[in-house]
Amino acid sequence: MRKVCFVLTAACIGLVLFALGPPEAKTASIKLTYSNFFPPAHIQSQLVDSWCKEVETRTKGRVSIKHYPGQTLTKAAECYEGVVKGRSDLGLSALSYTSDRFPVMGTVDLPLGYTSGKVATAVANEVYRKFRPKELSDTRVMYLHAHGPALINTRGKAVKRLEDMRGLRLRTTGAAAQVITALGGMAVSAPMPECHQLIRSGKADGSTHPVESLKGWKLAEVENYLTAAYSIAYTTTFFVVMNKEKWEALPQDIKVIFEEINNEWLLQHGEAWDTSDMEGMQFFLAHGGQLIGLESSEAARWKAAIAPIIDGYGKSLDEKGLKGEEIVNFTINTLNNMQ
Contacts of 9 (CB under 8 A, 6+ apart): none
Q: What is the pTM of this model?
A: 0.89
Residue 24 has pLDDT above 80, yes or no: no
**Mean pLDDT (whole number) for 91-105:** 94
pLDDT category, 95, cuts 50, 70, 90?
very high
CATH topology of domain 30-339: D-Maltodextrin-Binding Protein; domain 2 (3.40.190)
Instruction: Check residue 175 and give its pLDDT.
Output: 81
Average pLDDT of span 280-293: 97
C-alpha to C-alpha distance for 288 and 298, rounded to whole angstroms: 25
pLDDT at residue 28, as a whole number: 59
Q: Residue by residue, what is the 3-state secondary structure of 79-141?
A: HHHHHHCCCCCEEEEEHHHHHHHCCCHHHHHCCCCCCCHHHHHHHHHHHHHHHCCHHHCCEEE
